[in-house]
Amino acid sequence: QVQLVESGGGLVQAGDSLRLSCAASGRTFRQYTTGWFRQAPGKEREFVAAINYSNSTNYAHSVWGRFTISRDNAKNTVYLQMNSLKPEDTAAYYCAADAHAVSNRVPSSGYDYWGQGTQVTVSS
């Protein structure tokens, strides 16, 4: 069993930066594909970014060039660095881990573990 705990959310202004963290339990976390998703009120959950065991990354078009996903295996943590934030980035952000995937292109339904989420609010 893997537990994921997100942190780093908050209220910022447009153009600011935030770094989200997803801390995981479990020694094999470094082998998992880990993704970030977000869900705004009244909208469906959407993919943001993912990273696989070999640090290959994948991003949604809407965040390309602004967000960077990375992992620190020594700390069992995956990060989402978010720069140039926009009001439309406002959402609850969730990290998820897939224990079986090797790809960084995993649909949300394929993830085995989910965190509780952290809120990001960007004011204009």
Other C-beta atoms closer than 10 Å to the C-beta of 62 total 14
Tell me how many degrees the CA angle 60-64-67 measures, rounded to the nearest 5: 95
Question: How confident is the model over 27-76, as pLDDT tens digits?
Answer: 788 889 999 999 999 999 999 999 999 999 999 999 999 999 999 999 99
Residue 30 backbone phi and psi in degrees, to 5: -65, -20
Residue 27, pLDDT score:
74
- Separation in Å, CA 101 to CA 10, 27, 98: 31, 16, 6
Residue 28, pLDDT score:
83
Question: Is residue 20's pLDDT more than 80?
Answer: yes
